Amino acid sequence: MKKALISFFLAISLLILPVCPAFALEEDSVSAPSAILMEADSGKILFEKNTHERRPCASITKVMTLLLVFEAMDSGTLHLEDTITASAHAASMGGSDIWLEEGESMSADDMIKATVVASANDAAVALAETVSGSEDAFVERMNARAKELGMEDTTFKNCNGLDEEGHLTSAFDVALMSRELMKHEKIYDYTSIWLDYLRGGETQIVNTNKLLKTYKGITGLKTGTTDDAGCCMAASAQRDGMTLLSVVLGCDTGKQRFADSAALLDYGFANYSIQELKYPAELPETIEVEGGMAKQGAIGCDVTGSIVTEKASADEAVCKIDMPESIEAPVQNGDILGSVVYTCGEEERRFDITAREDVEKATFGAIFAHLFNSITSL
């Protein structure tokens, strides 16, 4: 009887206790002077600390370099099997490198591997020169791409992140370009490498991302260290279908960099989850068309992605369909006819409902042409 009473009161106490997140993360808990945590699919910010403070970012600069390299491969102007020959300029780079000699050749695949795994400054320049003809031209493209992505805090002066006056970005901007690079899933073939070899096994390279050995679900992304920038990192990880991206800039030591990154990712995975958005079963396949050559027209909606929710909340995503009962002809394939809106707490995702076929306006000429075609096809 006594055990039953204890169990009863314990159950009651659990019901009346407020639901709290697994743990909170205060700004002071992150040693980095600038940091951000973002859910990669939606871009929702889960934690931020001085996110727009302009700072050097060392070799995290190579995230943009790699983005442009992968976009060059998408366009067909660069291929993994292409041979890249190091120029005198590329071979002259200091800091972390693979000791390229002027005139030495490697495949683009190996140059990318060296840039990602060993953070090789010389390989990054060799790739940049191959894509744009010169590092200066490539840096111009880096800055243009940064503007396209909304990176308002960023000015690139080189393609590898070596300290240079005016070469600045922010944690927010690093997250933007990292998220864009992560859309190229091929990058994970490189960021997941712990140890590999170049030059037929003569040169060993080891990944600068030590979280590969210690953090569950880690997938990348890039580290960086210089005197001006301190120790920096953009880290990506995936668990239970959710991909998180953290950025820390200006840590005093490499140990702090990895600890901060792990703490940010831990906070995200402990406190948030995602709800995959499903195509609404109640959305009709057609819509009534008034004054058209057809009484109905096909419609559809491209629903993708998910909504980020707090684990402490029991809210479910609610779907609302906003569209008229009928529309006037003419209708063109791709016309926006309404929207499907998913809401969960303060989160909202909106998708257009579009026409999936043309419906011509019913005119005398159109009706006559339709009848004529029907007769002649008999």
User: Among 210, 127, 135, 223, which Cα is nearest to 174's?
Assistant: 223
Q: CB under 8 Å to 14, separation ≥6 — which residues?
A: none
Give the strand pairing for 286-290 and 326-328. Answer: parallel
Are 296 and 370 in contact, with CB atoms under 8 Å apart? no
Taken in order 357, 362, 363, 369, the sign of the CA dihedral is positive
Q: Does residue 306 contact residue 238 with C-beta atoms inside 8 Å?
A: no
Nearest to 263 by CA among 20, 22, 58, 15: 22
Q: Is 20 helix (H, G, I), strand (E, B) or coil?
A: coil
Please spell the DSSP secondary structure of 126-187, one letter per residue.
HHHHHHHSSHHHHHHHHHHHHHHTT-TT-B-SSSS----TT-BB-HHHHHHHHHHHTTSTTH
Catalytic positions, written as ranges: 59, 62, 119
Residue 225 tokens read as 């260290």
Give the integer Cα–Cα distance in Å for 249 and 234. 9
Strand segments, DSSP code E, in 200-305 are 203-206, 218-226, 230-239, 242-251, 272-276, 286-290, 296-301
Closest CA to 325 of 286, 359, 279, 361: 286
